[in-house]
Homo-oligomer: A and B are copies of this chain.
């Protein structure tokens, strides 16, 4: 059976209990990711060339923290502690960020754009596997803010001005995807019940393969948006 045939079958999401403890844990993982994203975005903005860029990054970081607050409310309602969730799950995100520390402002912009999009894809794929009531929470977290338009415009302009930038930034984009996939798999491997929650509806191996295939396809589109790939 091809992955695309699998993907066309609706997943039996309604069989998942909205109060499943694994949903709380999934939200706790995502919350730690938003916390890490807030601080990394601001740290990486130290390379920002001007105030225009500084404002755009502050806006993106603020949006990540708003997501944190939404998830913290959900996590608390489901009986987990947001602070303990950050303590427990931030390490894998810190490792991802350590493995993808940008060396130039353009690398930082590509990372901000790609990470924002990967997170949105990830939330989107997740929402399709979850009960309707939980789906709404995920949808509001991932709501498009248009904040990454700034990154897209600037990367496109930089490549137009200097086509030699295209090749190294394309490699950088591939590395960002590779590291994101690797680190996501680490989280899933460590949290069996979250893995089961996400991929219980499909034959597990195909479900995982489809998931990463969809994310990769969207990443390729985003690279094209940036004028890369």
Chain A residues with a Cβ under 8 A of chain B: 35, 38-39, 42, 45, 50-52, 54-55, 58-59, 61-62, 65-66, 68-69, 82-83, 86-87, 90
Contact = CB atoms under 8 A, between A and B. Distances in A.
8 contacts: A35-B54, A39-B58, A42-B42, A52-B83, A55-B83, A59-B69, A61-B62, A62-B66
Given A65-B59, A68-B58, A86 B42 contact: no
A116 to B, nearest CB: 17
Contacts of A51: 35, 83, 86-87, 90
A127 to B, nearest CB: 24
A58 B83 contact: no
A83 B51 CA distance: 6
Contacts of A65: 58-59, 61-62
A82 B87 CA distance: 37
Contacts of A39: 42, 45, 54, 58
Nearest 7 interchain pairs by C-beta: A51-B86, A62-B65, A42-B42, A52-B83, A62-B62, A51-B87, A58-B65
B35 A55 contact: yes
A148 B51 CA distance: 27
B62 A82 contact: no
A50, A62, A90: which has the most chain B beta carbons within 10 Å? A62
A81 to B, nearest CB: 10
Given A35-B54, A62-B65, 19 more contacts: A35-B51, A35-B55, A35-B58, A39-B42, A39-B54, A42-B61, A50-B87, A51-B83, A51-B87, A51-B90, A54-B86, A55-B86, A58-B65, A58-B68, A59-B65, A59-B69, A61-B65, A62-B62, A62-B66
